[in-house]
Amino acid sequence: MRAFDLRYFINSGLGYNWIDADGLLLSTKMGVGGSREFGGIDDHWTPEALLGASYEHQVNARNKLVAKLDYYPALDDISNFR
């Protein structure tokens, strides 16, 4: 159970495709933004960074492997992340 009803976030940044070949994609992204939780104890905007990576592999015509990792550390307290 979450301690809030709704989370709104907006981020902007840059991404780069390191590998973009037939059936294979490896990309990273980074940026900054903010998030706000509604209906909880903490009801203010939190500035945060965005770091992420994604991997996609089209195995065949019907199957694809996808892995994504996104990390959002708060800029005012790096130990606070989601």
7-66, pLDDT tens digit by residue? 889 999 999 999 999 999 999 999 999 998 888 777 789 999 999 999 999 999 999 999
Whether 27 is covered by a domain: the verdict is: yes
Query: Which pTM was predicted?
Result: 0.77
Whether 61 is covered by a domain: the verdict is: yes
Letter string b/e over residues 37-66, b meaning 16 or more CB atoms within 10 A of that residue's CB: beeeeeeeebebbbebbbebeeeeeeeeee
Q: Which structural domain range is residue 58 located in?
A: 6-71
Whether 78 is covered by a domain: the verdict is: no
Whether 76 is covered by a domain: the verdict is: no
Whether 77 is covered by a domain: the verdict is: no
Number of domains within the chain = 1
pLDDT at 33: 96
